[in-house]
């Protein structure tokens, strides 16, 4: 005689012989699945374009810039998902100077969380109003010294920030060398330094202004 294993339900084709207790378990599982999907949908909505930063009101112009950038993760907010090269199935390009200016516009309007994805084969610097941002690669072939540098700042304000930094493989999207960094004042800007440990092609910074 075969006995049902403790903790396991019979297969669906055997539901006609389920005990009342097993039927109750099945109904509970169905309800939990529905609640889980509902909660996931709710979380996606919360993290969407109308997210409220720091539980406060948002400048109308900032809402417009967010809409122009697209969904959460395209410059505003934090992004930890697929960042391999688009030619290998990725969904995002690297941050160029126009993108950096867009980010500075958003930060000037009160954006607290941003994300930047840079190529290791570039150095960029931009100004927007009183704000400035500068990125220097760690790659020796492009003038680097083995450490990535990122400056962000504005005249008249000491805007500190933290960053979650990662190196990303262009082909596979593999992420290594995750570090949590805190900026230090240098002149009128704040600076983070991130030592390179791989030969990956991208570096990503998820930044929170303090």
Strand partners, 179: 165
d(CA 138, CA 149): 8
Is the pLDDT higher at 157 or at 190? 190
Secondary structure, 3-state, the chain = CCCCCCCCCCCHHHHHHCCHHHHHHHHHHHHHHHHHHHHHHHHHHHCCCCCCHHHCCCCHHHHHHHHHHCCCCCCECCCCCCCCCHHHCCCCCCCCHHHHHHHHHHHHCCCCEEEEEEECCCCEEEEECCEEEEEECCCHHHCCCCEEEEEEEECCECCCEEEEEEEECCCCCCEEEEEEEECEEECCEEEEEEECCCCCCEEEEEEEEC
Average pLDDT value for residue range 180-191: 97
Secondary structure, 3-state, 137-189 = CCCHHHCCCCEEEEEEEECCECCCEEEEEEEECCCCCCEEEEEEEECEEECCE
* Residue-level pLDDT at 10: 36
Q: Which two tokens stand for residue 13?
A: 């084709």
The DSSP bridge pattern shows strands 175-182 and 161-168 to be antiparallel
Query: Residue 48 — very low, low, confident or very high, per pLDDT cuts 50/70/90?
Result: low
Average pLDDT, the chain: 85
Query: Residue 31 — very low, low, confident or very high, per pLDDT cuts 50/70/90?
Result: confident
* Model pTM score: 0.73
The domain locations on the chain are 18-46, 59-209
* Residue-level pLDDT at 19: 72
């Amino acid at each position: 005689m075969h006995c049902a294993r403790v903790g396991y339900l019979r297969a669906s084709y055997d539901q006609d012989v389920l005990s009342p207790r097993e039927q109750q378990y099945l109904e509970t599982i169905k309800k939990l699945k529905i609640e889980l999907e509902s909660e996931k949908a709710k979380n996606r909505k919360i993290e969407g374009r109308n997210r409220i930063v720091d539980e406060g009101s948002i400048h109308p112009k900032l809402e417009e810039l967010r809409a122009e950038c697209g969904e959460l993760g395209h410059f505003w907010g934090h992004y930890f998902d697929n960042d391999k090269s688009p030619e290998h199935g990725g969904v995002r390009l690297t941050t160029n100077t126009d993108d950096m200016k867009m980010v500075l516009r958003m930060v000037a309007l009160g954006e607290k969380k941003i994300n930047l994805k840079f190529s290791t084969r570039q150095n960029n610097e931009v100004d927007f109003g009183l704000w400035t941002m500068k990125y220097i690669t760690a790659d020796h072939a492009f003038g680097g010294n083995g450490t990535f540098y990122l400056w962000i700042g504005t005249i008249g304000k000491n805007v500190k920030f933290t960053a979650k930094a990662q190196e990303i493989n262009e082909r596979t999207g593999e992420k290594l060398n995750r570090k949590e960094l805190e900026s230090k004042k240098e002149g009128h800007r704040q600076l983070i330094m991130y030592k390179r440990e791989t030969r990956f092609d991208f570096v990503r910074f998820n930044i929170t202004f303090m």
